Structure 1
Amino acid sequence: MPIFMDRHDVSESVTAEIVAQLHQQDLKIQHKFGCRGLTYWFDESRKMAFCLIEAPSENSIKEMHKNAHGEVPHQVIEVDAGIVESFLGRIQDPEKAKNTDLNIINDPAFRTIMVIEFVRHSVKGNGAQVLNIADLMNEIKSGFEGSVVKQYRNQLLVSFKSVSKAVTCALEISAGTLGSGMDKNYGFDRLKIGITSGVPVTGKDSIFEDAIKLAERMLFATEADISISTEVKELYRSENFNQFVETDQVLVLTPDDELFLTRLVDFIEEKWQNADLRVEDFQQYLGVSKSQLYRKTIHLTGKSPSAFLMSYRLNMALKMLEEQKGNISEIAFGAGFNSPSYFSKCFRRKYGIMPSGYLGAYAE
């Protein structure tokens, strides 16, 4: 049976005790709707509650809540139990809350999210790099209480309860001081880190989707070693006597920066395969003048709008080559280039190898 997580935005008067009482009312009638409540999280400061429930459908959860106490969730998403446990540390009630009459759980589901990207332009890796990343994951867990949620080909997705530990971890990773026998970039050409924060259910289909997407976009778009959202900076300051780490390697995005970057990448993700895309199309979609577009894009990405689009297309073409989604010509046109020869020229300029050479080496 599938597992779901729901979100309840509660009023200022709601306490952890009240949420525990509502949860108990759910448990009393859950069998009538085929549901089984696994656990819940409550954030006193943000006034949010999240329930983890095994159920036949989203509607059965809503009906259970409606009949138990009338507090219907604002959103319900299907989740993977293993992913939930990696992000939040548990899928059952915490031990300290068990065997009590009311079972009060005042445990927020808010997390600091870190995405680490290992950028490598050479065509082959080696075993030492894999071992180094394994060492890094162990030290993130043991030294900073971070939980590695996923490991992609060139990325790690990590969840932290403490924003201070997340930021400190990022600084040490960037400095190359974690892991035995590692060089600064852990065997890769470049290492970049994006740090955001958020709650698991935000109106999207996937858990922590907003926070993860912003972190990944900061990684791709900015040139900084470490990119941090405004919320992460403010939370760090609140935990550290109003102080923040000010270094050249850290870029803090303002709320306006985050909004502009989100809309810019949303547009590119929708239109990047259109070979006729022009700067004027960016202006029209974003509702800014040409000078504003250039100023903000260069400030955030270090590139002009057209250069940023080119970088995105080449990045997507690289993935298409790795996944062997067609021959060189098909990938070139699929990535929004007018000709395979121009694509090959641009690809070689960025990655130092022709697409055919990369495709051949990657297929070995």
Structure 2
Amino acid sequence: MTNRIHENLTYLADEECVRLVDRFFIITGHFYMASGKRNRKRSLWHPSYWPAWTLVCLLWLLSFLPMGLKQRLGGWLGRLLSRKMQSRARVADANLAACMPELDAASRGQLVEDAFVASARGVLESVHAWWRDMTPYCESASVHGTEHLEEAKRRGKGVLLIGGHYSIFDFALPLIACKLEKPGYMYRPNNNPVIDRMIERGRRRHFGIRSFTKRQIRPMLSFLKEGGQVWFACDQDFGKKSEVFVPFFGVSAGCITSPSYIARESGAAVICVSHLRMPDGSYRVVFSPIQESFGEYPEQDAEVWNRFIETTVREQPDQYLWLHKRFKSRPEGAAAIY
């Protein structure tokens, strides 16, 4: 069992999300080509990375656009991608058909397009977070549940923040981190080291955020034991690494048990967190109450965070990452979704 847990931990970051980012940049004509495997011996200035540097320069220039213009550009780009990325559009439609059977085909089609728009806007918001001042957004964001963070502090515990893949991801990181004393997060490095450098430098420039990869589980556990707070979005299908199946919108979804292991080994308090772009253009972050007894029963733990994510998604359904094959792994005997 211990070996299975450690194998599971080595797959914490989602390969499919990275591939989605790769495809996004390819289709939008940014000349970005992600290598299948990192070549750590190659200089970042090697000619093979020049297309990636071109992308970095373009995104840096886009970061200077006013946020309102970023939102309009994201709307146009999202609608374009919904027509160009047909395979992902079909994945999103299949997810919605399974999770929200009350929607007819036309309603699903509109929601698929809205999901592409939300994701495209999220990319441009991330660009803003990587290079521009986030102070105005940290000050104006509506944040609920910080008393639960204070309660964890009173108990002398670190905090494992369980989150989901919503459209404002990198943009949400400083919105969350500004409410934490020792912020950190789990991540999967991008295959292209130039792109990875851009993303990680952009993330870590806010509030002394510390990052942890799949090879840094022990340092992360120590960080939590010392009162650190780590954000971990664990709501993806990790294929063969899925250890339990629990309902997500009434559909059996493969879930990992790593969050339970991390909570148990570190003694950290577990709090669920959501982050949304509201219809009026504002941003909202919600911290749940501490999930008592988290870590004892992995299947129940997965049900806890799935229910929290469901509640959030039903409020703003376009902002979930429906483009991901959430139901790729199926229980024995269950019909395939895709």
TM-score with structure 1 length normalisation? Answer: 0.27
TM-score with structure 2 length normalisation? Answer: 0.29
1 or 2, which has the higher strand percentage? Answer: 1
